[in-house]
Structure 1
């Protein structure tokens, strides 16, 4: 089926201006699919701005994702009669409510001929235990009514009843497959491209970015890029940078991005980071950008200003991290962390420099090593260019997503008698 003859319904709990990378990503992806010829409708939360993207129809109609809104989702889909439903899933986007984890099965019952593709942006499912007893009881009764095996506590029937599943990194797909043997047979990996509009490369952009950050033109500048929340390892970065600063007094750090809501209810606050910076005596040499509009090149200009990127993820880096895509697309040497499930595409000392997570000393050593070893820095820059060419481009993302859609629709066509 050609794109111009294909109606796609996107279901997402997040969309701009909501401060979460997944919202920026699905907005640009929806617009890109519309630009490629698909008829795209987006059903999303009431906090979304329906005019924030062009080319697709945005319906900010769901106030809360729960059992009460399930009927509204189903009725919307039945009225639209899409050829394909694209569910953009991460638990926090849907308030961790288990309703969304059973929606593929409900949609298949309501629209038997419609294909369902689900992209899971990170291994963060729903959390029934965080909800009241009646919610958990409804989940148990609903799961029993839906029947069959392989109903996951975190992912419900998403893995089982989606016709295709898209993961964003191999370590993630391996974790999902633990819930459903054989999942790989209907799954693909599509890493995220940079989620920000790109500025022009060159010295003018570099100097403009430094002016925006208040950083001297000749100061060595390390940059963190991404929203700020628990799990990003920023407390270790600040402590590690204090050690770097002790040896390189003119070094500077930019923390590029605003604070995300505390989805995990951890009690974490960005104020904690400022307190650490004050305790370390480096508050005045850190530039904090705060949130910036997702549809401007401000984020790109900040990255043009940097000499090195430092992304200290607490659980280790993987291809799904859009922060890595953004930094690599700006040809920056990337210093990041090694997780329990290593990302096979990351080669230590070649396209990233890997250090242990949650270790300020290891981060400081990695930063100093990259700063002092010009050959290493050049090799890492070249590695960033190679990663970008292979994985981190919007054309590649759209091509891969369209291939998944075509495959799902072709399979459906074979099943339906002429």
Structure 2
């Protein structure tokens, strides 16, 4: 493998909209620190929000949109392959690292990668599921292959079904261009493998090294951080916390994040008579979120869907915070039950309430699980180890002959 490498990182978005973008940005910095040259290729969607001098601004772009035309564009973006081909000709990368591309760039970029060593980094299930969640509208896990069921089950409206099914067909037709697909957890790998994705390599996400947090606050406190949307299960958390509040009236809950469900969740907290001990902070920067979360006794991740990895749980462990999380997806791999926290059945109030009460009623236990979580995070989820693992995948791909269609 040549050293240093020239790496082109391809991703739908430049701004840090979510965990996938955070992981990609950290990877860029980690690779550059090791002497590799990294350039970014993204769509223009959301780019206006970045200052001109932002380090997140990409070197190469193609047209994108956050408007109602996004469904058509993500199925077949005619500008993306042209711009990507030009970027490759200009930069001449040793390897192309492709992240999320199904919500802006579209599968039309894949034929461009036929003659370039490339890897696909799966951050969620979008490569095999048009909603990206593998979750049915009734809250149950979907085990069906994308197709007619996406419409009949109500996952995809009629106006979007045809373009999204076309996208799924293109994804299946061209995914052979990747000699390796990186999955961020064994759970993600299983979902992709069930749809026929091969050459899978599991590389857990890394989180930034951080000093151990200061002492917890005296008041028993829980914190949630994430988007306020149905699949995150914050309504279940509020019901569970109301049950805890009845037994530990001085316990508090901080909810950091925003989303379409915020008004309904605030109304729910009032109806449950916990509005005085539940604080909605709205969207906060990562630094502000960390400031709020650092003194909490427990981080709660009550997701309904099988989180592909569970970045917020790993970040909490690195900080030294105990975690109560849904026993599904990557969360069940990151959180060690009865060791770094507790795993509970998703979308069920009684077990979540019982787990929260157990931690919030026992400060010593919360501290013990927090210390163990930090040990595990430093050993398994350090950013340095993440970059090491990614570079090992690069080495194998570069040494593998480029496949023919």
TM-score of the superposed pair, with normalisation by structure 1: 0.77
Aligned partners of 2:164 and 2:351: how far apart in 1? 43
Query: 1:202 aligned to 2:200?
Result: no
Which residue of 292, 299, 315 corresponds with 1:309? 299
Q: Shift in Å at residue 368 of structure 1? A: 0.6
Aligned partners of 1:324 and 1:69: how far apart in 2? 37
**SS of 1:89 mapped into structure 2:** coil
CA contact (8 A) 1:199 1:300 kept: no
CA contact (8 A) 1:103 1:158 kept: no
Q: What corresponds to 1:162 in structure 2?
A: 178
CA contact (8 A) 1:317 1:343 kept: no
CA contact (8 A) 1:258 1:291 kept: yes
User: Residue by residue, what CA displacement relative to the aligned partner does 1:146-169 show, whole Å, maximum 9, x if unpaired?
Assistant: xxxxxx548434643212111011
Q: What corresponds to 2:60 in structure 1?
A: 59
Aligned partners of 1:289 and 1:350: how far apart in 2? 30
Task: Sort the Cα spacing of 1:275 and 1:154 in 2 relative to 1 into closer, same or farther, 3 A.
Answer: farther
Aligned partners of 2:59 and 2:316: how far apart in 1? 30
Q: Shift in Å at residue 394 of structure 1? A: 1.0
Aligned partners of 2:355 and 2:283: how far apart in 1? 27
What are the within-5 Å matches in structure 2 for residues 222-301 of structure 1?
222-259=222-259, 268-294=260-286, 297-301=287-291
Which residue of 348, 353, 359 corresponds with 2:342? 353
Q: Shift in Å at residue 117 of structure 1? A: 0.6
Aligned partners of 1:202 and 1:116: how far apart in 2? 43
CA contact (8 A) 1:167 1:187 kept: yes
Query: 1:11 aligned to 2:10?
Result: yes
Q: Shift in Å at residue 43 of structure 1? A: 1.0
Q: What corresponds to 2:359 in structure 1?
A: 370
Q: What corresponds to 1:193 in structure 2?
A: 206
Instruction: Structure 1: give runs of 5+ residues left out of the alignment.
Output: 141-151, 207-216, 260-267
Query: 1:37 aligned to 2:27?
Result: no
CA contact (8 A) 2:185 2:330 kept: no
Q: What corresponds to 1:174 in structure 2?
A: 190
User: Residue by residue, what CA displacement relative to the aligned partner does 1:177-229 show, whole Å, maximum 9, x if unpaired?
Assistant: 11226x2xx3221222236x8467325xx6xxxxxxxxxx5211111123332
Which residue of 63, 80, 86 corresponds with 2:91? 80
Q: What corresponds to 2:70 in structure 1?
A: none
Q: Shift in Å at residue 284 of structure 1? A: 2.5
**SS of 1:334 mapped into structure 2:** strand
Task: Sort the Cα spacing of 1:340 and 1:120 in 2 relative to 1 into closer, same or farther, 3 A.
Answer: closer
Q: Shift in Å at residue 322 of structure 1? A: 0.6
Task: Sort the Cα spacing of 1:76 and 1:58 in 2 relative to 1 into closer, same or farther, 3 A.
Answer: closer
Q: What corresponds to 1:213 in structure 2?
A: none
Q: Shift in Å at residue 242 of structure 1? A: 1.1
Q: Shift in Å at residue 348 of structure 1? A: 2.0
Q: Shift in Å at residue 282 of structure 1? A: 1.5
Which residue of 84, 103, 107 corresponds with 2:109? 103
**SS of 1:222 mapped into structure 2:** strand
Aligned partners of 1:357 and 1:401: how far apart in 2? 31
Aligned partners of 2:369 and 2:101: how far apart in 1? 31
CA contact (8 A) 1:16 1:27 kept: no
Aligned partners of 1:323 and 1:314: how far apart in 2? 15
Task: Sort the Cα spacing of 1:157 and 1:75 in 2 relative to 1 into closer, same or farther, 3 A.
Answer: farther
Q: Shift in Å at residue 362 of structure 1? A: 1.7
User: Residue by residue, what CA displacement relative to the aligned partner does 1:370-415 show, whole Å, maximum 9, x if unpaired?
Assistant: 22345643442243123202322111111111111122112249x9
Aligned partners of 1:119 and 1:169: how far apart in 2? 11
Q: What corresponds to 2:142 in structure 1?
A: none
CA contact (8 A) 1:231 1:314 kept: yes
Aligned partners of 1:28 and 1:3: how far apart in 2? 20
CA contact (8 A) 1:349 1:376 kept: no
Q: What corresponds to 2:151 in structure 1?
A: none
Q: What corresponds to 1:145 in structure 2?
A: none
Q: What corresponds to 1:408 in structure 2?
A: 397
Aligned partners of 2:283 and 2:311: how far apart in 1? 16
Aligned partners of 1:100 and 1:376: how far apart in 2? 48
Q: Shift in Å at residue 176 of structure 1? A: 0.5
Task: Sort the Cα spacing of 1:290 and 1:308 in 2 relative to 1 into closer, same or farther, 3 A.
Answer: same
Aligned partners of 1:397 and 1:408: how far apart in 2? 17
Q: Shift in Å at residue 250 of structure 1? A: 0.6
CA contact (8 A) 1:223 1:310 kept: yes
